[in-house]
Amino acid sequence: MHKSALLIDSREFCAAIEPAVLQARRRVFIQVMTFEMDSAGQRFWEVLARSDAREKILCVDAFSTAKVSDDLVFGRRYLTDAAFRREVRDTRRLLSCRERDGVRIVVTNPMGALWWKYPLRNHKKMMVVDDEAFLGGINFSEHNFAWRDLMLRTDCPPLVAALAEDIRRTVAGGNQSAIKKLPIGNLYFLDGRRSRYEYEAIFAEIATAKKSIDIISPYVSAPLLERMARLSPSVRVRVINPAQNNKRILQQALFQTAAGTNMEIRLYGPGMSHLKAILIDDSRLFLGSNNFDFVGYEVQQEVVLSSKEPGIIGEFRDRVLEPVLASSAPALSAPARIYHRGGVAMALAKGYVSLLSRLSR
């Protein structure tokens, strides 16, 4: 038997992972897309440095060398904001180290000359602390900590082993596309370039819906939305998107794709939601790092768990879905200019990402 629990938002996540790291004796493996040396990152770094675990790894995507506090590191804010410049400097200084305070530091997916590889990110957020695993959407930064988000904590041994092995693979410079059938559910590793088989398996699971599909994601887009638009009208499809979305182009594309379909869009507020989850017929739950957007599908490394465990699903429904629905409202029809602007911008973005996908294979 194994135990699993959902950690809602950064407060619950930190309250769980910080003591676990301090009590760890064997290993602490941390893999995230974003790790910034603001108050959130510095606090966790101090915890990680104090841990007596024999092996400590921090694996961070190069995204954190290019974008800090949700802003590009060399933009207008860098010129005008001294605190921002200090945060950029401290973050880059940490990530330039191969080892610090007994922690091995690995930065994945270099940006390339003129940042031409900007979309090619390792988007996973997962941690292994001795015999426990954490999986979901939370990064280590103040702005991520302020967002609505979710992590799963579990001691399921095969899942813990699978995440530990995948982190070691990433540290060694490799990525994988694979499906692991585990007691807790199906675990999908997606490398974003050779993942079509795995994505089709995910879409096939979602297509088993008989009554309802609830999607919570800030950036959901093609190809998942196109699949949802083709489902039988008897299946209620509800997409919950943050009203204060930090990537408006994807929200515009969502409105455009949903127009004329049976998809219901609800806008969550107040604040930004970074939650990524899909609930099928109240009996199957997908969660992990994947936004189910076209960038993830084409070029990003992701991890997704599909579980039918009643305890996890009941907790998600009661502690995540119902509160999010209570804090959301039906989206009003977007003006025609939004459809046009979103359509043009998305066409350009998809073309660029598709070209990168072909070049990087």
Is residue 152 assigned to a domain?
Answer: yes
d(CA 352, CA 205): 29
Are residue 151 and residue 277 in the same domain, yes or no?
no
- Among 157, 186, 216, the domain boundary falls at 157
Residue 331's domain is classified under what CATH number? 3.30.870.10
Are residue 206 and residue 308 in the same domain, yes or no?
yes
pTM here is 0.94
DSSP code at position 231: S
Are residue 35 and residue 124 in the same domain, yes or no?
yes
Are residue 215 and residue 267 in the same domain, yes or no?
yes
Are residue 259 and residue 111 in the same domain, yes or no?
no
Is residue 186 assigned to a domain?
Answer: no
Is residue 70 assigned to a domain?
Answer: yes
Average pLDDT by consecutive 10-residue portion of the chain (361 residues)?
Answer: 96 98 98 98 98 98 96 93 97 98 97 91 98 98 97 98 98 97 98 93 96 97 91 95 90 83 91 97 98 94 98 98 96 56 70 74 59
Are residue 215 and residue 151 in the same domain, yes or no?
no
Are residue 348 and residue 208 in the same domain, yes or no?
yes
| b/e map 194-206, b = 16+ CB within 10 Å | ebeebbeebeebb
pLDDT of residue 193: 84
Alpha-helical runs (H) found in the chain:
9-23, 39-50, 63-66, 76-80, 82-95, 142-146, 157-171, 196-206, 224-229, 248-258, 294-299, 310-316, 322-326, 336-359
- Among 157, 191, 218, the domain boundary falls at 157
Are residue 35 and residue 125 in the same domain, yes or no?
yes
The two three-digit tokens of residue 200, written as one number:
């089709």
Are residue 119 and residue 247 in the same domain, yes or no?
no
Are residue 119 and residue 207 in the same domain, yes or no?
no
Is residue 181 assigned to a domain?
Answer: no
d(CA 296, CA 301): 7
pLDDT of residue 342: 57
Is residue 195 assigned to a domain?
Answer: no
Is residue 96 assigned to a domain?
Answer: yes
Is residue 349 assigned to a domain?
Answer: yes
Distances (CA, A) of 150 to 13, 16, 285, 315, 342: 8, 13, 13, 12, 28
Is residue 30 assigned to a domain?
Answer: yes
Which residues form the domain of 28? 4-157
Of the candidates 124, 34, 111, the one whose C-alpha atom is nearest the C-alpha of residue 356 is 111
pLDDT of residue 270: 86
Sign of CA dihedral 134, 137, 138, 140: positive
pLDDT of residue 135: 98
Are residue 226 and residue 343 in the same domain, yes or no?
yes
Domains in the chain: how many in total?
2
pLDDT of residue 336: 45
- Among 124, 157, 190, the domain boundary falls at 157
pLDDT of residue 348: 76
Are residue 25 and residue 118 in the same domain, yes or no?
yes
Distances (CA, A) of 284 to 278, 303, 309, 310: 8, 17, 8, 9
